[in-house]
Structure 1
Amino acid sequence: MGSILGLLILLEGLLSSSLVYADSHRLNFYFSTIWSPKESTPPHTQIIAFLDDVPIIKYPNSNRKLQRLTDWLENVHPKHWEALEESAKYYEQRHQYKIQRLRLPQNYTNLYVYQVKFGCWINEDNSTGGEEEFGAHGRDFLFLDNEKKKFMASADEAMVLAKDWNSRPNTVKRQLYYRDKACIQWLQDYLLVKTDNFSKNVRPEVKVWGRRQSGGVTRLHCLVYGFHPGPVDVKWMRNGTDHIPSDEMTPILPHPDGTYQIRVSVEVPTREGDTYSCHVDHSSLEDEALSVNLGKYRQFKIRCQCVIICLQC
């Protein structure tokens, strides 16, 4: 246990920056280990790191090497990658050992899955936070409680494991250090060298279209894309005043370039006289919400820009 804590201290020593942030940022690591007891192959582990929901690092146990998924990470000190790779190997072995010793339900006989979500964040006011959650068999298993500073079971079969980990002071200490200090330092260092930073706000692009369905209804779609930061409010309106609850909304998904997209869809009666518009509220629009109309001539309006196209619902 001492050696891995030493690696973490080395990593923290390599990363020293003092930044003031105009936006919140998040660094997440996702560990996935799968194993089939009926096969002779060992468990397989993969680790992927995301910066603000964009994948930046990958570690597959096929070659046990860290893969940097973006060029600007080359500017981080080489010793950081050496230490981080050793840390990934340590947790790979730990998770593979753990998955073979979990108390599993009777119906999980073909494929076992053990997952860990580990991450930290820096808010706009420079306050920080972190989380560590464990999953097994497709459901919550245990987590590191922020207030109690100990592991808490989310499932009955995790109670023995949580008690065991909490009885080892070094285990809890290591994970708290990893989450609350080392992770924050890594996040600061990555942001310091990141070369494809956006300004605080990037305006969204919007496309709307409709398709006639059976049963006298039309399905309307509003795609909002290319915006930053992620938080956005998208809704369909009838005649400019009536909000139409969405029956399908994708998550806010990241693009490789760091921007985001979301699609919101609704079903409405196919009838003459009504007009429909997609309203978008985003921080880049300041006090002016963006409204894109789908009417007789399907008019797209973004402030002074205007493009007329015809879409038959």
Structure 2
Amino acid sequence: MRGFLLFLLLLIVGVSGVYSGHLLQYYYTAVTVPGHGLPEFSIIAYVDGIEIARYSSDVGRMVPVAPWMERLDPEYWERNTQRCRGNEAVSKHNVKTLMTRFNHTGGYHSAQWMYGCELRAEGTIKSYMQLGYDGKDFLALDTERWLYYPLLYQAQVTAQRWNSQELLQWERAKNYLESMCTDWLRKYLEYGKEELERRVRPKVKISDQTINGVIKLHCQVYRFHPRDVDVNWQKNGIDVPSYEAKHVFPNSDGTYQIRVTVEIPAEDREGHSCHVDHASLEEILIVKWEPQSSSNTLWIVIGVVLGGVTAIAAAGFIIWRKRLMLEAPL
């Protein structure tokens, strides 16, 4: 269970990389047994990785999360509440259908639905839509051919139904993703312009550990905004590959953090530096590793990371990787 929730968290926060466009994302989650901070059904909306609104079966209403979303009129919230309630009923039905497909008769199971649209800096639009079951990819929409394709054998029936001329589920998805999604993204960007466009310069701490003759170099980059960042280790100007995935985590103050770690031989103690590229910087920030640096910094870093994870968990473990009733019975 713990590993599954971490999997959901990583899908939300995403992988690092400097990004110059804007992204609107929705995450639906329906579970068979509520608990562990997760309601029976929830919908979370994000703009550029910032949570802007949410709906949960516990509350029964779509409510603003980002302060600037409170500027939308009451009719907006009532309209979306009704649509969320409709999606809640469909999602609960889909969980039961998926359990049948996988011959599951009880226990904890989940269905996750995620979709979104991206306005890229060069003016192009990219979108996606995907369904998952128990943390695994189940079904995805090809947004070039506008066809659903199964990612598991049990998804073939759904793909055939949703691609059929009778249901036209792909057409509803296409209309939403190519038009309404980007229209609303532009509106949200205007409402939240001050917050979304603010630039906060990252802070950087370097630490090291020596274990069994191998040195681990940690580059902790924290308290930066916006979310997207590129962090790499180099030795004398040549990239040193990281042995672990690069994940950006949110802080409680609306900023972000990331730690990038590499392993080097104990005798290799010269020429290493951490390179940080971020929208708030006029040029790449370079911090050199000094071998005599204290390892106490590592414990500070770990505390910051775990604090970010805890904050997400307390918020409700949100999800896996409307305006419309986009989700249909499976």
User: Which TM-score band (shorter chain)?
Assistant: 0.7 to 0.9
Structure 2 residue 186 is matched with structure 1 residue 225? no
For residues 59-74 of structure 1, what are the structure 2 equivalents within 5 Å? 59-74=55-70
Distance in 1 of aligned mates of 2:214 and 2:126: 47
SS at match of 1:27: strand
For residues 26-65 of structure 1, what are the structure 2 equivalents within 5 Å? 26-35=23-32, 44-65=40-61
For residues 174-185 of structure 1, what are the structure 2 equivalents within 5 Å? 174-185=172-183
For residues 162-181 of structure 1, what are the structure 2 equivalents within 5 Å? 162-167=159-164, 168-181=166-179
Distance in 1 of aligned mates of 2:268 and 2:95: 60
Distance 1:171-1:54 versus aligned 2 partners, 3 A rule: same
SS at match of 2:144: coil
Distance 1:151-1:212 versus aligned 2 partners, 3 A rule: closer
Who is 1:7 aligned against?
A: none
Distance in 2 of aligned mates of 1:158 and 1:252: 31
Cα displacement (A) at 1:271: 4.2
* Residue identity in the other structure for 1:162: A
Contact residue 269 and residue 291 of structure 2 kept, 8 A: no
Structure 2 residue 122 is matched with structure 1 residue 137? no
Who is 1:269 aligned against?
A: 265
Distance in 1 of aligned mates of 2:155 and 2:264: 47
Aligned counterpart in structure 2 of residue 146 of structure 1, from 128, 143, 147: 143
Query: Which has the larger helix fraction?
Result: 2
SS at match of 1:181: helix
Who is 1:244 aligned against?
A: 240
Contact residue 76 and residue 189 of structure 1 kept, 8 A: no
Contact residue 115 and residue 130 of structure 2 kept, 8 A: yes
Distance in 1 of aligned mates of 2:171 and 2:233: 49
- TM-score if structure 1 supplies the norm length? 0.76
Equivalent residues, number: 272
Q: Which runs of 5+ in 1 are unaligned?
A: 1-21, 37-42, 299-309
SS at match of 2:101: coil
Structure 2 residue 287 is matched with structure 1 residue 289? no
Contact residue 233 and residue 281 of structure 1 kept, 8 A: yes
Distance in 2 of aligned mates of 1:164 and 1:175: 14
Distance in 2 of aligned mates of 1:140 and 1:272: 42
Distance 1:108-1:275 versus aligned 2 partners, 3 A rule: farther
Tell me which structure has the larger Cα radius of gyration: 1
Distance in 2 of aligned mates of 1:272 and 1:175: 54
Contact residue 24 and residue 122 of structure 1 kept, 8 A: yes
Deviations 1:128-162 (A, max 9, x none): 23211111233211122212223222222111122
Q: Which runs of 5+ in 2 are unaligned?
A: 1-18, 34-38, 298-330
Contact residue 161 and residue 167 of structure 2 kept, 8 A: no
Deviations 1:153-182 (A, max 9, x none): 222211112222233345333322232222
Structure 2 residue 198 is matched with structure 1 residue 205? no
Distance in 2 of aligned mates of 1:273 and 1:220: 10
Who is 2:85 aligned against?
A: 89
Distance in 2 of aligned mates of 1:267 and 1:258: 31
Distance 1:296-1:266 versus aligned 2 partners, 3 A rule: closer
**CA RMSD between the two structures:** 2.8
Who is 2:192 aligned against?
A: 194
Distance in 2 of aligned mates of 1:259 and 1:176: 33
* Residue identity in the other structure for 2:205: K
Contact residue 210 and residue 311 of structure 1 kept, 8 A: yes
Deviates more, 1:155-164 or 1:100-109: 100-109
* Residue identity in the other structure for 1:163: Q
For residues 154-165 of structure 1, what are the structure 2 equivalents within 5 Å? 154-165=151-162
Structure 2 residue 118 is matched with structure 1 residue 121? yes
Contact residue 63 and residue 77 of structure 2 kept, 8 A: no
Cα displacement (A) at 1:116: 0.4
